Chain A
Amino acid sequence: MNANGCDRVKELLAPWVREELSAADRRFVEEHVAGCEECRAEASLVRALHAGVPIMPDDLTARVTASIATTPLRRRVWMSPQLAAAAIVVLALGTAVVWRQPPGDGNGVLAEEPLALTWPTDDGFIAGVAMLDDLSDEALAELLEELGG
């Protein structure tokens, strides 16, 4: 802040024209502006800008409220339990494919083995069946449908 308070006054000009200052700050600004040509010029500009604040068209509120009335209010979507279970199954299968070592070969390399040997079971769905014990028949059917079964 400079010695004569110009910086402080310039900070306060916007709230001054908006009549948001306390009585003390308002007096400070007005006394300063009266004696400072630089700040008086800036105050004149800020006052002009404020006087030219755009006026909203009368019909805009009705137009916008009508528009948002037809906009669906979306709730935050959480993953369904069935979909979560399916994700776990897919993750488990994927992990097994990558990490499972073939029987009889302690340090077998995945790339060297046929895919059939590294798959944990012949049926991908059965591989995850233990994790789905708690699902009802209906939920399980839905899950299978989501999985494209």
Chain B
Amino acid sequence: MVKEEAGGLPDSDLVRLAKEGDREALDELCTRHIASVFRVCRGFLGDDDEAADATQDCFVKAVRALPRFRGDASFRTWLLTIASNEAKGVFRKRKRRAEQALESAGPLVSAKPEAGDVTALKQEAEQARVMVAELPDKQRRAVTLRIDEGLSFKEIGEVIGSSEGAARVNYHHGIRRLREMMI
């Protein structure tokens, strides 16, 4: 990809150097892709702090797994897959915590504490982002990977673990559902 070449060495060379123990190459890979990783996590989780933590954990896991990276997919796709899975794990933990809190608090507590915040949002962009968080898992990831990261449907399929066709369907269903929610 063009972005890989923009900062100097292509990702594949940096990965090879990093595997040989070159810390500068590792830092360059981090600097090059951290914004994408953060956006994927943020798009999934809808929370800056959680997304920042997930981004950090994603990179630590990627460094540990780097010797096993074979280059079948691009480094970026591989990294975003880790990010996506990391965010998904955080999301599940949060959901479990919310369910436990709900059970302990009794039936009068709202399951959607953020509902008031949504009404306070003025900007259409912010509203759209909030709505994204309401989409089913694969639709949410397909939409954010397509719009935020510009991934092809084939790459999205690699990240979310589906075929290219299924990734395309998830994206379009997600957009259609967002339109319905935004009305």
Q: Which A residues lie at the B interface, using CB under 8 A?
A: 10-11, 14-15, 17-18, 20, 41-42, 45-46, 48-54, 56-57, 60-61, 63-65, 67-69, 71-76
What chain A residues lie within 8 Å of B68 (beta carbons)?
Answer: 76
A46 engages B59 (CB within 8 Å): no
Subset of 14 A-B contacts with CB under 8 Å: A10-B175, A15-B150, A18-B147, A48-B128, A49-B125, A54-B48, A54-B51, A57-B48, A60-B55, A61-B30, A68-B59, A71-B63, A73-B18, A73-B26
Give complex CA distance A50, B64 in Å.
33
Interface of B is mostly: helix
- When C-beta atoms are compared, the residue in chain A nearest to B179 turns out to be A45
A45 engages B63 (CB within 8 Å): no
B167 within 8 A of A: no
**What's the A-B contact tally at a CB cutoff of 8 Å?**
106
B52 to chain A, nearest CB (A): 5
Known contacts A15-B150, A18-B147, A73-B66; 20 further A-B pairs (Cβ under 8 A): A14-B150, A20-B150, A48-B124, A49-B125, A49-B129, A49-B147, A52-B128, A52-B129, A53-B147, A54-B43, A60-B56, A61-B34, A64-B59, A65-B30, A68-B27, A68-B60, A71-B64, A73-B19, A73-B26, A74-B66
Give complex CA distance A132, B127 in Å.
71
Binary contact track B25-57/A, C-beta < 8 Å → 1, others 0: 011001100110011001100001001100110
What chain B residues lie within 8 Å of A45 (beta carbons)?
Answer: 128, 175, 178-179, 182
A76 to chain B, nearest CB (A): 4
B63 engages A50 (CB within 8 Å): no
What chain B residues lie within 8 Å of A41 (beta carbons)?
Answer: 179
A52 engages B125 (CB within 8 Å): yes
What chain B residues lie within 8 Å of A68 (beta carbons)?
Answer: 26-27, 30, 59-60, 63
Q: Which B residues lie at the A interface, using CB under 8 A?
A: 18-19, 21, 23, 26-27, 30-31, 34-35, 38-39, 42-43, 48, 51-52, 55-56, 59-60, 63-64, 66-68, 123-129, 132, 143, 146-148, 150, 168, 172, 175, 178-179, 182
Give complex CA distance A114, B67 in Å.
48
What chain B residues lie within 8 Å of A15 (beta carbons)?
Answer: 150
What chain A residues lie within 8 Å of B123 (beta carbons)?
Answer: 52
A60 engages B128 (CB within 8 Å): no
A70 to chain B, nearest CB (A): 9
Q: Which one of A48, A56, A60 lies within 8 Å of B125 (CB-CB)?
A: A48
Query: If A10-B172, A18-B150, A76-B68 touch, does A51 touch B125 (CB 8 Å cutoff)?
Result: yes
Give complex CA distance A71, B19 in Å.
13
What chain A residues lie within 8 Å of B23 (beta carbons)?
Answer: 69, 73
What chain A residues lie within 8 Å of B147 (beta carbons)?
Answer: 14, 17-18, 46, 49-50, 53
- When C-beta atoms are compared, the residue in chain A nearest to B127 turns out to be A48
Query: If A49-B132, A76-B68 touch, does A60 touch B18 (CB 8 Å cutoff)?
Result: no
What chain B residues lie within 8 Å of A20 (beta carbons)?
Answer: 150
